[in-house]
Structure 1
């Protein structure tokens, strides 16, 4: 794996487009003077040189990490190298060496060579296993111009280079076997001209001089050398090693063509070689010696390091420890797919620059202590910063540069200028960025300004001139003050220019619908004000009810001062939230409650129709329970017996459940009811009966949401009816009645939407009056079966009182009195048959089917007002206009004077369904 010239790249901040190559399982990126390559994601350890101080922290594991990284220098003083043997030693980790613990050192291995060599006692362990696939090793070397010129017969060989071995030869310790050592590059100087020479143990001649490389050598400067192990270079799957010098391919080693045809699959070990044939007056320094899969295991924290540090492509966050000092520049490099996280603990210090690329820089604050950047801060390639406090800002002693893909956030103190093409976001939440020099904003820049309900806001405080461009985005924390001037930027040297728009955009997920932020300028500051825009409340309403509520709320703005409901609630609505708020505020439950009370009047009508139906000796109906005690008289109507009693008493118990689907204007409504009606009647003349009734019912209803109500209903009424023979097998029947019901209503509703909550309750009265009549023709099909076509008509008038809700906010409504007039017409067919139970005749089964039409005020209305607003009218859940009726039941004859019956009634209309059951008892006297 290749890493080249990191320290020079970091110091010079090269910004050239990347040159990328890919081989096998990874990709490698390294920045140098004027080029960049993509780094392979791998595990890397590092070696340091004081000639070009730097640290590479590359490819950290994603597992839990705890131990700090350790750095080991390579000496640049030749006196620190020991003349001993050739080849030189491999790098091996020693637990204890020469009285020093935990030292990485060179271990002397192999046989003595014929010429002297230098090797270092202190070094770096690099034994590794590179899995199948291409990998690289490389480094930088400084070549001095003081090489002594040689002659044709006596020339200088001097080399300082890391080579590699296969796993097999490391295991055997054989460093002289042809399969053991990869070829080595060295410098030569013949006739005053430097050349490169390769020693290949697998060839007959060993040394191969490369005469065309004279122009490649950079004297008195740095040169890059790297080896690239390429696997599967031919159809047989053989490997080759390409040797590059200053980015030029100078030699290709193909092991399969050497004396030993073993084709290595990996770099396994490296060693550092220094060779000199008789002359020691030279200077050569390594800047980097790396292998592609060398990793400091369990490392995620950097302590004190007197070098440049590069953190790249790590799978886990890396921390600069509390109080630690990085002696050079810290560079953090992620990728577009992975954002590298670098965290600076309290008191951490970077002596030079901090460069963030595809990275997040977290500045952590402690008690009175924060991080310091000694040089410039670069936020690039989708990076961001956070941290610091208003009291303990992150100190940047140089300048700050933010590109158009990145964001600088947190509480920062920039000593120099700040230059941004991206986003500046002071604090988190309210915070400050202080700039000692000028602020220079590009057209792509954005200022993110947060404001709160206490009147505070983010601030960029500039010591020089603020050169404005770009845009402003506004976000709220817990709200905002209407018409309050928030100062978001000050500039001691003056404000130059303006932002692109005087109306910033909201940075909230959903923008406020009815207010807008506005910018204004004075010579030394920029002021942000949030005020009412020209958008009407009703413009975002989605239903007629919502429009009505919105228009009423709009009138609250005419009050001075506007009430809380207007200023602090409605003016904080988004376009999505406002319709929901309108519905919650509407009080439509009071209109829907009228539908329930009108529908409940049917139980009294059913009871009366059933009683009169049975009182004249007919079969049971779908809705009556009769008791009668009296002497009867027998007449024949159409050949059938009519039993009329002088007096009768009846009772009717019922329970029912209704579901209203509602519509786009009014939501769903459910109700349930239960009650009891009783009556007594007697004969008037030969063919008429007159009676009275009374009853009690309880009904509850809710709108599948935050509103519900209940009624206690008390009913009194009177009824009459008569029958006349018509033909030999039938009779004409007329039935009628009237009733009045007192309804005591209690309702509760909760108003809840973003930023607001209140619970309201109310108690009020409502009364319903009804009159009804039915005309039927009863026909005896045979002695056991009877059918009856019928038609009826009814009127229901409902009046409700005015009232005011109790609540804690202006959302409480004052509701006006209401009245409505509704009409129902029904046609149907009823049929019954006699049967005997245990020898007792007179039991009956019946079936009823019909169609009902409602007209008049079938959509209830409710008019209300907020405190100080204009009144508004909303609609509730409508009555079903057309309904199918189905009834069935059975009556058992307990004796000649008593019957007990049970029945079912179903009503099904467009969006409405009602199901009820009843029980009846009849005794005559």
Structure 2
């Protein structure tokens, strides 16, 4: 039993002995149902409860007991009525459980007996019977009491038939004996709630017919009380209640205290779940036993307290968690005493107009923390700066502040609590572009924009006020987040990616052709035959024109051995790529096309170097609203190569200037603008690569290893064309260091008039330096600076491609190739290269 009680105390820490008894009566089951012993036997009383003197109310159902304890709302205060001592002074008659019935005395109770508060009529919990008698052998006596329902409870049995050492043979004079019976638990003391009177009968009997016993007097005390157990749904109070404690522990339960009715609680009210709706009054006192230091407290640590009544909490209302909702729509809930709100607790206020809102009225001190939530009931959004009435008053003063505000009218218009008037807190309508509710819907970049807008919200006039008003009218949190994306600078990531990717593709796409050129110029041992220059270059036109590029893999860029000193080249390339969307940023797509020209000189049989110039034009679509970035890039550089016995080492340096033309579209209800800017930029590229050519018959395999460094910068700029939404954007720089390891495979086919060389290549790349970029901006007309982070590129990627080269007898050669760059999950780009070459 102790284990069951321990579990029950965990389920409901307000459980006491009386609550436990009530729950035992309701949840126990009969055991040994055929018991018909002289001292036992099951009896169903007038309340429908089974009782047996041997087993009480039966076998305890532990699980049901614990679950029922959790559902107890309250146990009323115990009331009592006593008949006083009634003199009998008669001989106790012979009792043989047959024709001889002993001596019986009847008394009638009426409603008058229960007319005081202390004797308030309630269901019976127990009946105490005091019997005073005289007998020379007390063990020969027996006694019973019978209720108006004809329920009989034996108070004690004769010991005459027990073993000698078990018998009670005491001789007593004017002996007073008190008995408590629970057999009438739940019965109405008058035999039914509709009755105005009820007859009770007490019987004493002597099982030995010796005429030596005297019944002197009796007194009966009726102990009364009730338990209210919640089912799911609503329980409504129907009469005034006096209870030791009230507890709500189940979420699907509502206890309603109607207007005009009282709940008087002698120790504690605790709401941990469900709802206590107070429209009359709840009055607390402090128990005189001092057993619990929290006696007298009203504790809300979950669930809801609502209504328009009064909570008299002279020892404090402790709001630890859960929600207080004054009113049933708009209304006032009064707390008599001090109010303490903790960080996890919520005050929910409905607001209908500047003169109509819920109020929590406190007669003592209010110590605030935790959550303030409002519910706007007034329709159209009120004007910024509108003052609303006090929603919390405290006659003793207000200390502390709400630490969490869930007070949105729209995603960006909120109620802000104000504390500058003594003894109250009231509301004012303000803009807040980083409020707590909206913040949960924003990425870190969007939050940075919101913080910037909040910095100018209080001083906005003119066009900025027009823009903010349009944002304030947006009903959706997701739409507001999207607008923040449009306000932030766009396209920087695309610029960096286009610049670096263009260099990578130039390298990857020309490698096949450069390898073909090197082998064509110098010849190769293919299946025992020697492929001479004259086989594919017409006599007198056998000086090759080299093709250079500014990419990351210049492996085989230059011929390792030539018979002529000079060469010139021209090449073209086109790239198309896509950066996929991520949860934090919108993706973009871009295209690039360019041309490179240059001249080189062979210094020795194994070394050559040259100079090059180039142009690249790129365009990126950076969002779905029409924002674009256009780039014109001009490059100059130098390159060189060294070759010996199949091993080659290539290198390159280049520097470039870029002109950008950016358009940032800002489109949402009420606003349609385009911000334009034309910043400049620069790019530095360094490259080194090596490889080894392995020939087998007509096949050539070339393993390669290379490293490329790039530094890209964009000048600061100021936008125009978007009014208050024009930005000043700080300069930005990024660095990239990419390494590649891979290889190429070629096959040479000689047609007699030309040689055709198809090939494939693949390599793995890794980014060592480049990460996300922090871009700092501010409104051109003035605001706090804000920074957004660009998306960090994938560290690992894969390059692959295929191409075909053709060498003609007239000294011309051509190359067409396809390349692709693929990252793990964010980025893909495609490139096509076409190369024409002449020798002289």
TM-score under structure 1 length normalisation? 0.53
Matches within 5 A, 1:337-416: 339=249, 361-363=254-256, 371=258, 374-376=261-263, 378=265, 380-383=268-271, 395-396=279-280, 403-406=297-300, 409=304, 411-414=306-309
Question: Does the 8 Å contact 1:804/1:815 carry over to 2?
Answer: yes
Q: How far is 1:613 from its partner? A: 6.0
> What is the CA–CA distance in structure 2 between the aligned matches of 1:548 and 1:340, rounded to whole Å?
44
Residue in structure 2 matched with residue 923 of structure 1 by the alignment? 806
1:716 aligns with 2:595: yes
> What is the CA–CA distance in structure 2 between the aligned matches of 1:149 and 1:587, rounded to whole Å?
102
Counterpart secondary structure, 1:144: coil
Change (3 A) 1:739 1:604: farther
Residue in structure 1 matched with residue 743 of structure 2 by the alignment? 888
Deviation per CA, 1:570-596: give whole Å up to 9, x if none: 999xxxx9xx99995674651111121
Deviation per CA, 1:788-812: give whole Å up to 9, x if none: 2232112233322031314216798
Change (3 A) 1:904 1:723: farther
Question: Does the 8 Å contact 1:792/1:827 carry over to 2?
Answer: yes
Deviation per CA, 1:492-535: give whole Å up to 9, x if none: xxx7342124x44336599x999952125489x75333668999
Counterpart secondary structure, 1:829: strand
Residue in structure 2 matched with residue 499 of structure 1 by the alignment? 398
Residue in structure 2 matched with residue 767 of structure 1 by the alignment? 632
> What is the CA–CA distance in structure 1 between the aligned matches of 2:766 and 2:495, rounded to whole Å?
19
Which residue of 388, 391, 411 maps to 1:486?
388
Change (3 A) 1:226 1:125: closer
> What is the CA–CA distance in structure 2 between the aligned matches of 1:867 and 1:504, rounded to whole Å?
38
Residue in structure 2 matched with residue 422 of structure 1 by the alignment? 318
Matches within 5 A, 1:819-838: 819-837=680-698
Greater helix share, 1 or 2?
2
Q: How far is 1:130 from its partner? A: 2.0
Unaligned runs of 5+ in 2: 10-14, 30-36, 66-77, 95-101, 107-126, 144-154, 184-199, 206-213, 286-295, 524-530, 770-794, 809-840
> What is the CA–CA distance in structure 1 between the aligned matches of 2:171 and 2:156, rounded to whole Å?
7
Q: How far is 1:139 from its partner? A: 12
Residue in structure 1 matched with residue 368 of structure 2 by the alignment? 471
> What is the CA–CA distance in structure 2 between the aligned matches of 1:546 and 1:608, rounded to whole Å?
44
> What is the CA–CA distance in structure 2 between the aligned matches of 1:132 and 1:397, rounded to whole Å?
36
Counterpart secondary structure, 1:559: coil
Which residue of 679, 690, 693 maps to 2:568?
690
> What is the CA–CA distance in structure 1 between the aligned matches of 2:278 and 2:450, rounded to whole Å?
51
Q: How far is 1:886 from its partner? A: 2.4
Change (3 A) 1:146 1:613: closer
Question: Does the 8 Å contact 2:547/2:571 carry over to 1?
Answer: no
Change (3 A) 1:522 1:788: closer
Which residue of 45, 58, 61 maps to 1:129?
58
> What is the CA–CA distance in structure 2 between the aligned matches of 1:657 and 1:159, rounded to whole Å?
115
Change (3 A) 1:87 1:811: farther
Q: How far is 1:831 from its partner? A: 1.9
Change (3 A) 1:198 1:894: same
Residue in structure 1 matched with residue 618 of structure 2 by the alignment? 743
Unaligned runs of 5+ in 1: 1-21, 30-34, 46-57, 62-85, 94-103, 106-121, 161-183, 218-222, 228-271, 289-307, 344-359, 364-369, 622-629, 636-640, 659-678, 750-759, 838-842
Residue in structure 1 matched with residue 340 of structure 2 by the alignment? 444
Note the aligned Cα RMSD (angstroms): 6.3
Change (3 A) 1:371 1:826: same
Counterpart secondary structure, 1:554: helix
Q: How far is 1:39 from its partner? A: 4.2
Q: How far is 1:145 from its partner? A: 1.3
Matches within 5 A, 1:488-887: 488-489=390-391, 496-501=395-400, 503-506=401-404, 517-521=417-421, 527-529=426-428, 550-551=451-452, 554-555=455-456, 557-560=458-461, 563=465, 584=485, 587=488, 590-602=491-503, 603-605=505-507, 607=509, 611=513, 614-615=516-517, 617=519, 632-633=533-534, 686-702=564-580, 704-705=582-583, 706-724=585-603, 726=604, 730-748=605-623, 760-779=625-644, 781=645, 786-808=646-668, 814=675, 816-837=677-698, 843-855=699-711, 857=713, 868=724, 871-873=727-729, 878-880=734-736, 882-887=737-742
> What is the CA–CA distance in structure 2 between the aligned matches of 1:517 and 1:559, rounded to whole Å?
21
Q: How far is 1:870 from its partner? A: 6.8
Change (3 A) 1:864 1:507: same
Deviation per CA, 1:700-749: give whole Å up to 9, x if none: 1136333111112222332333435x3xxx42222443332222221226
Matches within 5 A, 1:65-84: none
Q: How far is 1:899 from its partner? A: 1.0
Change (3 A) 1:909 1:208: farther
Change (3 A) 1:861 1:500: same
> What is the CA–CA distance in structure 1 between the aligned matches of 2:281 and 2:338, rounded to whole Å?
22
Q: How far is 1:556 from its partner? A: 5.3
Counterpart secondary structure, 1:597: helix
Question: Does the 8 Å contact 2:306/2:327 carry over to 1?
Answer: no
Q: How far is 1:547 from its partner? A: 6.6
Change (3 A) 1:534 1:515: farther
Counterpart secondary structure, 1:598: helix
Question: Does the 8 Å contact 1:773/1:793 carry over to 2?
Answer: yes
Which residue of 17, 29, 36 maps to 1:37?
17
Question: Does the 8 Å contact 2:243/2:263 carry over to 1?
Answer: no
Counterpart secondary structure, 1:801: strand
Q: How far is 1:900 from its partner? A: 0.8
Change (3 A) 1:209 1:454: farther
Deviation per CA, 1:190-214: give whole Å up to 9, x if none: 489x999954534547556697997
Question: Does the 8 Å contact 1:713/1:744 carry over to 2?
Answer: yes
Q: How far is 1:903 from its partner? A: 1.3
Residue in structure 2 matched with residue 238 of structure 1 by the alignment? none
Deviation per CA, 1:839-879: give whole Å up to 9, x if none: xxxx322122233333463x897876985257343788944
Question: Does the 8 Å contact 1:649/1:924 carry over to 2?
Answer: no
Deviation per CA, 1:216-263: give whole Å up to 9, x if none: 86xxxxx85679xxxxxxxxxxxxxxxxxxxxxxxxxxxxxxxxxxxx
> What is the CA–CA distance in structure 2 between the aligned matches of 1:186 and 1:415, rounded to whole Å?
42
Change (3 A) 1:833 1:444: closer
Change (3 A) 1:91 1:710: same
Question: Does the 8 Å contact 2:130/2:218 carry over to 1?
Answer: no
Q: How far is 1:442 from its partner? A: 1.2
TM-score under structure 2 length normalisation? 0.58
Q: Alignment length, in residue pairs?
A: 629
Q: How far is 1:310 from its partner? A: 1.0
